[in-house]
Amino acid sequence: MKEEPKYIGTISNKTLRDYVLDNNLSNEHKILLHPNNFDDIVLEYRDLYKKSIPDPYYIFETLIDESPNGLVPADKILVKKV
């Protein structure tokens, strides 16, 4: 199956968590985000938990990372097998 960017609504820590759970993602997957969306996640995390986001950042064993070279369009995610 070809990996294509997906729209999951407004990208937030909650929507990413829900996506990971709903799609049974694991440590065999990673989610790539557009740099602007990744920055939003970092700021949201800092606002919510009053500390810096862990590096690397995982949600239920699934790596959440910034897409290199504009591979992922803004407001979409790309799920890749690791």
Q: What is the DSSP string of 38-72?
A: HHHHHHHHHHHHSSPPPSSEEETTEEEEEPGGG-S
Threshold 0.75, pTM exceeds: yes
pLDDT at 3 over 90: no
pLDDT in tens, 19-63: 999 999 999 999 999 999 999 999 999 999 999 999 999 999 999
Rounded to 10 degrees, what is the CA torsion of 18, 21, 26, 31? -20
Res. 13 pLDDT band, cuts 50 70 90: very high
- Which of the two residues, 1 and 13, has the higher pLDDT score? 13
Q: Quote the CA–CA distance of 51 and 9 in Å, as a whole number.
A: 26
Tokens of 42: 């970092």
Q: Quote the CA–CA distance of 25 and 66 in Å, as a whole number.
A: 18
Tokens of 51: 């500390």
pLDDT at 1 over 60: no
